[in-house]
Every structure is written in structure tokens, then in C-alpha cells.
Chains A and B, each alone.
Chain A
Amino acid sequence: MTATRLDENILLTADNCRYCLMCRHVCPIGHVTGLETLTPHGWGLMIASNRRGLLTWNDESVFKLYSCADCGTCRAHCVTDQPLPETIATARAQVVEAGLAPPAVGRVAEMLQRWQNPYEEQAPEPVEGRGEVALFVGDEATYLRPGLLDAALKLLEAAGIRPVLIGRGRSNGYVASSLGLIEIAHDLARANLEDLAASGARRLLVLSPGDFFAFKQLYPERLQLSLPDSVDLSEVTVLLAQALDRGELAFEPLPPGPPHAYVDPSHSVRVKTRYDAPRKLLAAVIPAPPVELFWRRERTHPVGSTALKFTIPQFADHLTWARLGDARQAGAQRLISEDAGTLKALGDHAARFGVEVLSLYELLASQLR
């Protein structure tokens, strides 16, 4: 599968976005850079201008093209659901095909081709056994937050679920797709779907909204691959919150501590119904009312955990600093989230902002009754 075989129509979205300013207020990169070029309309105009011969792809313009975080916030706020992040990914695929991608893209491509993840020189683990429920582990929970998986499994067990693990150590394909590495993204997605088929599961659980987005939207829209209709997809937090509601789970509350806030993970905006479940779980272990960050729920800004960290790490860091600054402004001293990538990015910079970062699954598991 190559970029030229992708539906060219998606690039026509650029013609819609090039002169539209209606989602720029939620674009995190526009927010941290203040640069008109790095807003949805800027990317739309760049791609549209390239097609009109007014802009060529060179080091400078390609840097700008790769500055979008592929966080989905623009599309989540678009009344007409224009697939701008998909359009940007498609334009990047064309840049990759033309051999003009930034060198970092080549390095990520090599790692993904060889190891199926961009973090460690280690191959994914094969699926063991079959069962009704599968849990997609992915690469970030495996390599960026060891401990998260065990905690999640302990919680699921308490709720009566023992999932078959799939995709352990393998990328969900988002990074590759975002960087314009369509063939690689396709191979990774297909491998994950093959794992799922091998597990025989009819329910697929994921640990983060990023994984949910990958299976639910990215595979069909960007890669023309789909979950089988018979498979039900849900986030672990949603399932645990339901178990909590039914009284199947109970937690020992922590003693009162400094003010805390829940951090909606990167990609949260792409899963519109998810915002209450993690908050409900958190309230079961920290009953004091949380402070809320400014960039929360429907307007969640990502931290630097998206594909951007591989190509333009300085912008990725700015995203993380902005969220930590947001927390400091709100008066939060403890930040809690469940996504491994989000935890890693926050954790790497937390000390500078005087905040502590905690993993929701690990916190919950430690307080299980």
C-alpha cells in the first residue's frame, strides 16, 4: 500500500481547512508556538498551496508539515468532521514517498520494521492461549511504564476478567501512520488484528484512549483495516468503572494529601464518551474533590507523547510543559493518568514543576480491597 493509492480526496480537506479558523483555539501546537502556520488553517493552506504550485516541500516546509502533533483535537471540534489529521498524515506519506521526510522518520521506520516498536530492540511476544477477552498491551505500556500492565491485570482479575494478552511489545501503528509510514502502519495493524484473531476473543480491551482510537478509527480510516464486527472494543477504565458501579470492585481510600488532578491522556478527545470513567475510579481512592485542568475533557491537549516526540522533540516537550504549567496554575500537586506515554512524558519533566505523577492503574491496584 502506498500513498498514491490512498484516496486522494482526503487532500481536498486541505481546501476546506486552508481558510477556516474555527478550531484553531483548541490546537495545542498553535497554542504553544503562537505561529499561524502551525494551526489547522496553516497546515491546510500549506498542503493546498503545495498542490497549487505555490509551496514546494523542502527542509523548512517539511519541518512545518511534521510539526502537527496528530492529536485529533481539531477534528473533534469540527462541526463538519473534516479529517485534517488524516490529511496531514497523507501529505506526509507523499513526502516520505518523495524521499523528503526528516531523517528522524527514517530512524523510526527502521526500528518499527525490525522490532515493531520504536523503543527497544526486542520483538513482540506471541499470543498465548485463547479466551473471550483480549487485552491489547502495545509498546508504550510494555516499555515506557513497566508495572502498569501488572496493575491493570490485577484490577481486571478483581473484576473477574483474565484476558489473553495481544500485541505485547508491538506498536498499535499510530506512530507509523502519523509519520507517513503507511506500509509499516498497515503491517503493524494487520499483525495486531491477527493476534486478536488468534486469541479468539470477542471483546477487546485497551489501556488508553490512544489504543482505542487506533483500533476504532485509525485502522479503518487510514489503513482500510477493521476490527471484526463481532468484537466489542472498550477501554479498561470504562470497564472498571462499570464494575465499581455494580459493587464488584472496592478500594481503600488514601489518607488526605495535597491537591490532585486527573490528566486526560493524549488522544482523549478522539473518544468522546470516556471522560467520566477514570474520574470515577480516581474518586474511589482519593475522595477529596480534584482540581480540574484548563485543557481537560473535550478540549484536552496532549502531552508530548504523540508521534511528534520522534520528529520535533522540542515541540513535544513544549506540549508537556504546557500541561504541567496548567497543573501548577490550577494548584494541583499530584497528577494522575493511566496512559503509559502520557505518564512517561509528564514524569520526565514533573520535578521541574514541583508535581508528582502517579499511574492510575497502579494507584488503584495498590488500594484494592
Chain B
Amino acid sequence: MKYSFPREMIRSELEDIVGQHFVSVEETDRLVYSTDWSWMPQMWLDRGERLPMPDYIVHPGSAEEISEIMDIANKYHLPVVPWGGGSGTQGGALPMFGGILLDMKRMNKIIEIDEVSLTVTAQAGINGQQLEWALNEKGLTLPHYAASAKCATLGGYLAPRGTGTISTKYGKAEDMVMSMQIVLPTGEIIRTPPVPQHAAGPDWTRLWLGAEGTLGVITEATMRVEYIPESRLLRAVLFDDLSKALEAGRRMMTRRLHPFVIRLYDPASTKTRVKAILGYDFDGAYMVLGFDGDPDIAALEEEKALEMCAELGGRDLGPEPGWKWWNHRYDFYYPPINLKLPWMYGTTETITTYDKIEKLYWAEKKAVEEGFAEWNVRFIGHFSHWFHWGVMLYSRFIIEEPPQDAREALRLHNRIWNTAMQAVLANGGMINEHHGIGLKLGRYMRKQYGDAWPFLLRLKKMIDPNGIMNPGKVGF
């Protein structure tokens, strides 16, 4: 691909920094990097339409190189979009205004595994599954079991504040962070404090957790790891009534049991997704429970949990349907059995406290199903990340026969999101729990934060004065 004079100048300056092999302006690469895993751009290409493309795809090899790239971006006012695995669902890595796309995958080294303090330090572009395999060789595990581990990067776990399958016991990805190295939009390479719990001023480490590349580039992270648990118990329980199932989960968490997973499918998901992937034809709400660690303690906790379920009418289905879910939990994402085009779908996941969650669920379901009945929209959900104060609702809408015209389809998609987010906000929910804001949800940030939003805008302006970092994302 041949560019005009100014663009060739910039290309050559970028090549001076990272080397010729690590800058691509080729048409095929620009096409492939024009979409991440979000529905909107995928649909757009599916309908034969073109997307904005990055001007330069750069594979930096170090924080120092990224710092120099920032200089160029500031000088020429070029957008810089960090890209990990491109597995984000919110359009966070889309190069909306072209510019420099920083693919982090060359920075994939494990720097240190500390088997005494149980931490791992790795570069941010390392693939999640590859990191996990390396830890497993030493009997360790990073307890962020994202369903995207096979495709996402460490930086991509942290930038949108991801949550994994076993978060209910081990926390969100952000809770595992000890420390990070970050390249600021102004080029400084900084390191956050070495430990997360201290009292040396405010916890500014967290500014970059959830910034989704709008405040700089995470280049390295030290993460807390765990020993691979000695035992794992899995089991399933079936409830006739979603409300009682939610109450059972609340009791387990507030009475401080330590399940590593409580996955509760609403009756609609149980009847569709669970049936399609696992082959069980259950009526009601299917709940998977998992306990791990010392075998005696895990068994005792499981017994207590089953008692709590039984008190609320939960029927113990035994270990087999629990293990089947565990062993096939990623099958949900493989085509052609996943949710895929030409269908329309969106994950409007949210989180709130236990007192509000059920009302929120019904309100969102009603708003979406009634609002878009003419499209035969289906609303399904599961509750998968539990805290001792509340729970995440992984809600989804699905339309099997959406409009064929790309623009019409995009408009309908946005309208359904608007409806869902209004219901979420009206019922005390957060606009997102773990996929992040990206492009998709930026327009709700002001509504979410009210008077605090201008303060966040000022913060962004201070850290990124020229607005080069990932423009159009997180509402910035």
C-alpha cells in the first residue's frame, strides 16, 4: 500500500522506532483490524459495508518504544488505539478515527513468577491461556477464568475490568492486580505502587482499570496468583422459581459460604442456551454450584449450600449436570452453536445490589420484550458473578430475523440498547459490570455519573491533553 507524502513520513518515523517489520499499512491487515468482537462492526462487514480502518498497525516491543510512539502521535495529533486480542464486545478497540493501532501481542513475555509471594509479572500482550498454561506448569493458576482466555490478553483483562467464571470466590481481574507499568499519553513510563493494600495516598492504580486505553497503555502487570485447588466439587440445582433461586444465592453469599461459582440461568436461558449446548431439557432455573480447595471444607460448604437451596425448593440434580457445565462452559462460544450473525444480539449486562436485582431483571425484560415485540425479540439472562452485597445480571437480547439493511439494523440495535439501559439506570443498575463501555456505552456515561462526569472529563484532559488515546471510547 502506497500512502501520500505526509503519511509515508509518519510511517517511516514509526518504522524508525519499532523496525520495518512491525509497522503494517497493508490493506488486508487494515481490514482485519477494522473490527473487534462487537456486533456492530461485525454486522457492518457481514452486510458488505466498509469500516473505518487504522492507518498504521504497529507492534511495539517495549514500553520505551510506546513512549516514542506517543511523541509522534502527539506531534501529528494522531489517535492511538491499544489492541490486545480484539475480543472486546463493546467496540473498545475499534479505530474509529484511523490513526495508530497498537497491537500489544509482541509484548508477550513472562517476566517473573514469584512462587513465594504467589505473583506473576508479565507483559500486557500475553495471551490469557498461554499465561495460564505457563502458571499451571508450576502448580499455579491466575484465577481470572474469562471465557475469552483463549483470545484475550492480560492488558485486555484489565483495561475493561473483566470478570471471570470463578470471580465469586476469587474476585474480578482488577482485584488480582498488584501493580502495573503504564505508558501515559504524554510519553512518561510510570509504575504504580508494588502492593495494592497500603495507605500511601489515594489508590490511583485504579484509574487505569476501566479506562480501556483512553488514559494510556498498560505495558506490564504483576498479578496475584493461586495454587491450583486441591479439589473441585460441582453440582447443579433446579428451581421452579427464579426468585427463590436468587434468594438461595443471596443467602450463600451473605452467610459467607465461598462458592467459586454460582451460575444461575433464568428459565428462558435454561430452555434455550442450556438445552442447545448441554442437551438438558429442564423447566425452571438451572443453577450450577462449585466449591474448591481443601476437600473436607469444600464438601461441607457444598452440603450447607444444598441445604439452603432445599429450604427454598431447589432440587439437587447431583454432580453430573454441574460437571457437564464446567467441562463445556466455553462451548457456548464456538460457531455455529454460538450466537452469531445474521442474528442480532447484544449483552446488556449489569450489576446491582440484592434488594434491587430482581426488580431490575423484570423491568429490563419487560421493556425489551414489549418494546420490540414486532421483532420477536427474546430476552434471556443468567446471574454469574456474585458478591456479598449483590450480583451481576448477564442479560441478552436476541432477534433471529433482524433488518438486512446495515443502517436499519444498527439503528434498531441502538434503540434496544437505549431501552435496556434506561431500565437498568431507572432500577439502580450500573450500565456495565465487566465488558466495559467502549464505543457502545459511551453515550450513557453522563447519565450514569451525573455531576461527577465533568470531573472525569477534566481528568481525561489532564492526563491526555491532546486527546490522542482511543478517542470516542468510554464517553471521552
Contact = CB atoms under 8 A, between A and B. Distances in A.
A42 interface: yes
Nearest to B42: A19
Given A25-B151, A54-B45, A78-B334, A35 B29 contact: yes
A80 B336 contact: yes
B169 interface: no
A52 interface: yes
Interface residues of A, number: 30
B330 A52 contact: no
B331 interface: yes
Interface string A44-76: 011001001111000011001000000000000
A217 interface: no
B133 interface: yes
Interface string B192-221: 000000000000000000000000000000
Contacts of B87: 21
A228 interface: no
A294 B128 CA distance: 15
B127 interface: yes
Interface residues of B, number: 48
B281 interface: no
A52 B341 CA distance: 14
A53 B1 CA distance: 19
Contacts of A35: 24, 29, 57, 59, 103
Contacts, number: 103
A42 B85 contact: no
A79 B328 CA distance: 9
Contacts of B125: 34
A23 interface: yes
Nearest to A51: B48
Contacts of A45: 31-32, 35, 45
A31 to B, nearest CB: 8
Contacts of A46: 28, 31-32
Q: Is the interface of B mostly helix, strand, loop or mixed?
A: loop
A67 to B, nearest CB: 10
Interface string B18-46: 00000010111101110101000010011
A242 interface: no
Nearest to A78: B334
A221 interface: no
Contact of A61 (B28, B45, B57, B106): B28
Contacts of A113: none
A226 interface: no
Interface in B127-155: 127-130, 133-134, 137, 148-151
A60 B1 CA distance: 9
A366 interface: no
Nearest to A80: B334
A60 B32 contact: no
A42 B28 CA distance: 9
A186 to B, nearest CB: 29
28 contacts: A19-B35, A20-B333, A21-B37, A21-B85, A21-B86, A21-B151, A22-B333, A25-B128, A25-B150, A35-B59, A35-B103, A36-B32, A36-B33, A36-B83, A36-B105, A37-B28, A37-B32, A45-B31, A45-B32, A45-B35, A54-B31, A54-B50, A55-B28, A55-B31, A60-B1, A61-B28, A79-B331, A294-B133
Interface of A: 16-17, 19-25, 34-37, 42, 45-46, 49, 52-55, 60-61, 64, 78-80, 82, 294, 299
The 6 closest A-B pairs by CB, nearest first: A21-B151, A16-B335, A34-B105, A79-B334, A25-B129, A37-B32
